[in-house]
Every structure is written in structure tokens, then in C-alpha cells.
Amino acid sequence: DSGVTQTPKHLITATGQRVTLRCSPRSGDLSVYWYQQSLDQGLQFLIQYYNGEERAKGNILERFSAQQFPDLHSELNLSSLELGDSALYFCASSRESGGGEQFFGPGTRLTVL
Amino acid sequence: GIQVEQSPPDLILQEGANSTLRCNFSDSVNNLQWFHQNPWGQLINLFYIPSGTKQNGRLSATTVATERYSLLYISSSQTTDSGVYFCAANNNDMRFGAGTRLTVKP
């Protein structure tokens, strides 16, 4: 158990819908990262927040957004969902803002029908 | 961004065999991690190793940062070692390799 929690574990929804994925980092970690793992694109970095502020941005679509709240939990919002958004979404956390060891949550498996 | 390449893409071993997985990265890094993704999809941290050598039981890893590669050694492999092994390197954002799929047969 990495100490990073993610909810829900599974999510099934329809095209065009909007969903919210939630992540709680390890105790004491200030950075939260979101990743997408799909069959065709592999594991891709989406976005990082450090202590409530956006720190780095990767291959995140405009339809996706994230935020980190004062209690340091984070949410990833996915809207106007398409079939191709079906993937495993991971959250990770670390102590530092950059370069430190990252610990991954169990992931949320999203299926868009 | 940084490019991460892993080899081999697939590896099939008999139980008890040893193996070496390689990770090449295209630029200097401030973080290099090895993960094992088990059949349930969980990413398990194996090593945080931006440089040097570390050992944990039957697994060990070496990163030669000046030559931009890292190696993961698995000795006396067991069926439970099966899964996908990922290397990830970070100099601004974390980039993952495509992974090595390891199958250990009894």
C-alpha cells in the first residue's frame, strides 16, 4: 500500500458525459501528479500540482482540468468524454515539487461507452 | 522532453533464471524510478535511483547517470515476478518507457 488513495476504482459512463476522479496524497506529500495509461499511448504525465498551485503540465487535453484543494487532495475532471478517453488514470504524490520519488495510487479505470 | 527507451520489450524466463532489463534516457535526470505493474494494474515502486546502485532482496538496480542508462537485475526469478516493468525518468516531468513485459514460467 503506497498510502495514496484514489476513488472510484472503476467508472463506466457514456460519451459526452463528465466525471470527477479523486486522489488523496500520502501524509506529508505536497505534490500531486496525474497520469493516464492507455493501450495505444502508454503511461503519460498529465499535470502536477504542488501545495495548491499548478506546477507542470503535460499532455493534458483542454477537456480535462484538475485542481488541488487546501487539504491537498486533488480532483481530475474529464468532460465531453470520448471513447478514446477510456484508460487507467493514476494519481501519484511526492514530498518535493520536482525530482523526488513518486508513489502511485491504485488507479481509476474509466470506461467510456 | 526526455525520451525513455526500454529493452527488451518482452522477456520469457524459466523460474530460477536471472535477467537484466535496460533503460536508456536521452538527457540528464533528477529522478529515475523503476516500477513493477502487477496483473491487477498496480504500479509498485521498486527503486528510486537517479544514480548509483541499490539492492532489495533478489532485485538490484544500477544507474549510470553520465552515460544515461539504468539497469534492473532480477535474480532467481519467480512466477510472481511476472508483469510489466517500467522505467521512468524525470527532469521536468516524469516520462515513462514503454515497459518490459516479463513472463516467468514454472
| pLDDT tens-place string over residues A50-92 | 999 999 999 899 999 999 999 999 999 999 999 999 999 999 9
CA distance B100 to B3: 16
CA distance A56 to B9: 29
Q: Is B93's pLDDT higher than 90?
A: no
> Which is more confidently placed, A32 or A99?
A32
With bands split at pLDDT 50, 70 and 90, how would you rate the model's confidence at B1?
confident
- Give the single-character DSSP code of A42: E
Q: Is B45's pLDDT higher than 80?
A: yes
What's the gap in Å between the CA of A82 and the closest CA on chain B?
Answer: 22
Mean pLDDT calculated for residue range B15-42: 94
Helix (H/G/I), strand (E/B), else coil: A1? coil
- Give the single-character DSSP code of B68: T
Contacts with B93 from chain A: Cβ below 8 Å: 45, 48, 56, 58
With bands split at pLDDT 50, 70 and 90, how would you rate the model's confidence at B77?
very high
CB-based contact, A36 to chain B, within 8 Å? no
Predicted pLDDT of residue A76? 98
Produce one character per residue of A56-88: b if its CB has 16 or more CB atoms within 10 Å, e if not: bebebeeebebebeeebebbbebeebeeebbbb
Helix (H/G/I), strand (E/B), else coil: A85? helix
CA distance A52 to A38: 27
Question: In terms of residues, how long is chain B?
Answer: 106
C-alpha cell at B87: 522505467
What's the gap in Å between the CA of B89 and the closest CA on chain A?
Answer: 9
Contact A100, A1 (CB under 8 A): no
Helix or strand run (H / E) with residue A65? strand A64-68
